[in-house]
Structure 1
Amino acid sequence: MSRKWFGTDGVRGRVGDSVIHPEWVLKLGWAAGHVLTAGATERPRVVIGKDTRLSGYLLESALESGLASAGVDVLLVGPLPTPAIAYLTRTLRADAGIVISASHNPYQDNGIKFFSGDGYKLPDAQEEAIEAWMDRPMLVCDSEQLGKARRVEDAAGRYVEFCKTTFPANLDLRGLHLVVDCAHGANYKVGPMVFRELGAQLTLLGVEPNGININAGVGSTCPESLQEQVRSTQADLGIAFDGDGDRLILVDGQGALLDGDELIWLLARDMQQQGILSGVVGTVMSNLALEQGLADLGVPFVRSAVGDRYVLEAMQQHAFPLGGESSGHIITPANTTGDAILAALRVLAIMRKSGKSLKALREGYQPYPQVLIGVRLADARHFLDHPAAQERVAAAEQELADKGRLLVRPSGTEPLLRVMVEAVSADLAARVAEKLAKELSDLASG
């Protein structure tokens, strides 16, 4: 069944347009209340968290009203990273969790994503069931059955303490100078708390959210300020989160970037040395260097569709304890979704155990040049069904031949067609990607 509204990470769009509108979100809360709590023997409870976008207040109230109208109690936790909502949903024994966030998108966008009671992203079947309920007339339950809402005052502290328990008890971060960029997003409070309480000296970026500056020139998608700050302060490394705190990018002491693929390689090597790694899951976007690096270590590797929910499904299918995406979503045994703080702590633990700098640890990994271009289209999901588009993609693949690989796919979160080219040289990758992106753009506009 084709889903109408849900993408790879919930529902997302421009606030006030289409679905991200208070009237539509109100009904979404009502529909989700019926689906997510079906069969509950006690009054259902749903956790709602959000990032720092100004529109979060508007959408939070709409969701709360919709859930209450379906007889669901609501637990409000305020601005917290997406993985914290997954964790709190599980530990508070709630029936479901909802995150109001558009992740790395600009502040004008927002979105809604769901977790089941065990802290995992909803399977496609449940999202389809919610969409089916959206087509029904909205009927409010009897007054005595309406839901209530309360705020969980210690939610941030609960998550901070959980994060710290994942760091080895015999280690600390004393003597390390970290530059931490929170993207003016959901990690602006808990991120610094975790690293500071473990003993690190911090220089902070992106920790002054005002509702409209989330991801604006900071965070994992704009790491230039972080790189400069690491170099100018001679810090040991830099840590960058995205707006909702599930993506991680690191910068070594020389200011060089490490993306999700390289971080997965570092974690995999350490886990293999401990004898606790059966295999790794990446995605169709993962750099070929990761696959080859894992092969050199004798570690099995499989690729999933893009989206940490699909990475997790493949991890469960193959019983692999580690997986992630180039963008910085990294899933470890301690979490049920991408968690940037936990992933950073794992890398820091490797540094402390080995006594090596991040620059020294990354030696031996050489990514293939990769170019990613977004082509904005109104109907990106179906554009590749057109024969003319398929012909241009085939011609680009022929130009690459055995010197690289090409992937063209619709974004699951934005109206974009993503063109990814990986090649033996940066010039070849850029030439093929730019040419194909222009051809597809011209085809769409013509």
Structure 2
Amino acid sequence: MDVAVIGVGHVGLVTAACLADLGHRVVGLDDDAAKIETLLTGGVPFHEPDLPQLVQEVTDSGALRFTTDLGEALADAEVVFVCVGTPPLPGGGPDLRFVERVGVEVASKVDHELVLVEKSTVPANTGRRLTHVIRREQQARGTQVTNVHVASNPEFLREGAAVHDTLNPDRIVYGTSSDFARDALRRVYAPLVERTGAPVVETDVNTAELIKHASNAFLATRISFINAVANVCDRVGADVEVVAQGMGMDARIGPAFLSAGLGYGGSCFPKDVDAFLHLSRQVGYDFRLLEEVGRINVGQREVVLDKLRDELWHLAGKTITVFGGAFKPGTDDLRESPGLHLARALIDEGATVRVYDPVASDGVRRELPDVAVFTDPLEASTGAHAVVVATDWPEVVDLDLGKLVAALDYPILVDGRNCLDPEAARAAGLRYHAIGRGHLEQH
């Protein structure tokens, strides 16, 4: 099929490359000329494992090309995926201006029947509003008013494993309001279904939109729940790692997303929890559970600060090294990064902060221009009074702890991801603190 992808950020570029890999003819469009130039010259504008190789393969074969010209992208398109940003607004809802703009521009240019697919994460009823925008724009121009079919096809990829997740999905979800749109999306995903046997959920647009927000809100709830359990574990001397293991063995619960730590971040969970809460308020439902999910998540930063205060008394004048600027391993995404939130809190208390990150150092420098940023963890730790693990990069998990102790002024480490071996840390001479493992605390 002929497919256009509008917006080649994280979701859009992965979608475009993977659809090209499935055998479709794909055009990737973005109004950021510098981003398109990077792609045209063989680069990828962000860090995502396996993506550069895949983009190279499908561009070399001619299956994927890039442009800044919407008319060119739409010329032959049967299906158009909308992958533009939906950043959070101050009130908690998503900013849908870019989605609306795509609807207006597509309506003004398209002269044939196609399906316009929401791939960006949007709240329920966005499809209805987008359809209204398109119809209004076409009526104002006196053009055909039935040739654009709006659909929803949420993504469930994880940054750091986006290519794998897209080509090996747990499920494929799409919501449509016409047989034309349903049949088109069946054709889009037929090669993937044949290749993987992935189950397909066909539903209406509102339900598909809600599946995405409900999924992310539930995963965030699991993380906040186990973090709340971890805080109880610290107070009673229990081990949250074993608690989570015991819980996860229950087939009704399972082990995923039961890792206690510094809390979730990134472009999805914080924004989607807030957006789902905002939607609930708009329709008159008081979803207080989600309010508590967000409050617990933010509170995990204070848990780490308390452990540092217990060790160092005052943080003013102390040098603290934060291992991890990206919100998770495998990406350079800094959005809502727990490590950066922690760094800012430490600065507010008068600490000198250093940040180590193996791939996101340039972004950290832009976000925290007054903070020393390192690409070597031992160099970042030399002379520091304490280290906090904020991102469980393999380079951190595999670090020589004896060398870390030698580099530090005070051998204090707060493991905000529970990713290090406590016995190995103590054997190396570290005063080791974890999340929800109070029985290991050293006093």
In the superposition, the TM-score normalised over structure 1's length comes to: 0.27
Structure whose alpha-carbon radius of gyration is higher? 2
Q: Which has the higher strand share?
A: 1
In the superposition, the TM-score normalised over structure 2's length comes to: 0.27
Q: Which has the higher helix share?
A: 2
